Amino acid sequence: MLSKSSLVALAIVALAVHSSQAAVAQPLQQHDSCRKTTVAVLGGGMAGIAAAQALSNASISDFLILEYQDRIGGRAHHTTFGAKEDGSPYTVELGANWISGLARPGGPENPVWTLAKKYRLENTYSNYKSILTYNETGYTDYSHLLGTFEEAHGRMNVEAAKLLVENLQDQSVRSGLGLAGWSPKHGDMAAQAIEYWSWDFEAAYPPEESSMIFGAASDSLTLAKFSDENNFVIDPRGFSSIITGEASSFLQPDDQRLLLRNKVANISHSDSGVTVYADDGSCVSAAYAICTFSLGVLQSDVVQFSPELPKWKETAIRKFSMGTYSKIFFQFNETFWPQDTQYLLYASPTTRGYYTLWQSLSTEGFLPGSNIIFVTVTHDESYRIEQQSDEETKQEALEVLRDMFPDKTIPEPTAFMYPRWTKTPWAFGSYSNWPIGTTLEMHQNLRANVGRLWFAGEAASAQYFGFLHGAWFEGREAGAQVAGLVQDRCVKLDDGPEQCGPRTHYEELHGTSPLEHYTWRNGWANRGVLVSKSEG
């Protein structure tokens, strides 16, 4: 067995080798054939288009948008499904579906709501009070638990705001709800279903894995700044039509600055610029780049950085969570479920989140007469069904419907479909979540630039992560700041502070109580506990 001094020596040698390797890593050699531009915008989703629009608004027209798909819109992604009486298909959203928070009278508007009105996007009010509850025996009214949960959730939000303002230690939503009086037993599946509807349905993560401080803040800030209304998009053009509409304000038809089907493989960055290499061997050389890839893509290693991103940046990318939110669509030859109710909540007798949340699209105001219903699963259940065949998932879900409606004969669907977001190479997930114990400093490192390489997207928004409007705000800000660097000026957006130059990052992060104030009682090797030196 090696002595302690030998282990220390080995560690020092390993660190020295790693440091020397990092020091000699150089950006990939730039090809003379690379297409030149001032700013390369990587990704054509909401953040990428907002960034390019901000550049255009600042009179910077020399930019390129590099997009993996053959379309723009990103995770605002729709497809055709089923059939109408005339044989034409319906449109359903696989990704972003709600305008979350509209506007308060006399107050600011959610920019997504502003765009929805501008482009006459068809949408309808999601009435979260229009809900019926079921278990394995059929209809069972446990809706009284909704009020109990909401009261506890409200108390938790108040406590979360205190912790945020006073810079106190974070905790999980699970512990926050428990302290606020909501602590469902594992066998209380009705309470588990209510909790899933009230938390997981929004966060795509369970309370155990969500930050109480920032999970509560994200919802509360959207509701406080805009409104508590949530409108469901039913436009046959798709939710992404607001993004393509904005793009058309500064891009011409067949604009050569939009490079579709461009699969980025490597990003070479230095103090003098950024070179982006696609998997087909083509490349773009830019003075600056704005990377709007999803957190899932950044965590997947499908895009290589040369040199590797610094440790503070890589740590931030790994620290945050990418959630998965799967909508499973059915069309039947009839609407056998209640047509006047928007949501149907199922409490599985054994498994939390097992085909829990059903939503009717055949209801008035949505797609009446469509006979379409879909069920949402998240997190572990999403990962599980993504490994299954369509047929396996369809039969599982049909058994749940037969439990919910024991007096009905549930037929095979005439159409069935669901996305597999964790396997989608330009997304690798649905949207981000803020894990427990991650600070604002760590999040700042997630959004901070690395030299001339900038970052934007919904995950980069401390206030609105997980929301489409978060992507819009972050894209617009990154585009404006890069424009300021190109034009050697400071930037001021809305009522925010003036911003000059690069973003701040933190090489070292500390917890709410610095580690040097603590010691290991009984020693680390004996698995001692961490206590204050005054106690030790």
- Binding site members for FAD: 264
Give backbone dihedrals phi and psi of 32, rounded to 5 degrees, phi first: -65, -20
Other beta carbons within 10 angstroms of residue 524's beta carbon come to 8
Q: At a CB cut-off of 8 Å and minimum separation 6, what does 325 contact?
A: 204, 376, 378, 382, 421, 430, 431
8 Å CB contact between 196 and 353:
yes
H or E stretch covering 89:
none
Q: How many alpha carbons lie under 13 Å from residue 305 in its C-beta half-sphere? A: 21
Which region holds residue 497: left if phi is over 0, alpha if psi is between -120 and 50, else beta? beta
DSSP-assigned beta bridge partners for residue 268: 275, 306
8 Å CB contact between 314 and 307:
no
Distance CA 471, CA 487 (A): 24
The token duo for 320 is 């945050």
- Cα 379 to chain center, whole Å? 12
**Residue 370, helix vs strand vs coil:** coil
**Residue 306, helix vs strand vs coil:** strand
Binding residues: 264
Give backbone dihedrals phi and psi of 331, rounded to 5 degrees, phi first: -120, 130
8 Å CB contact between 436 and 171:
yes
* Polymer length in residues for the chain: 536
DSSP 451: T
The token duo for 395 is 């039969």
Give backbone dihedrals phi and psi of 452, rounded to 5 degrees, phi first: -95, 5
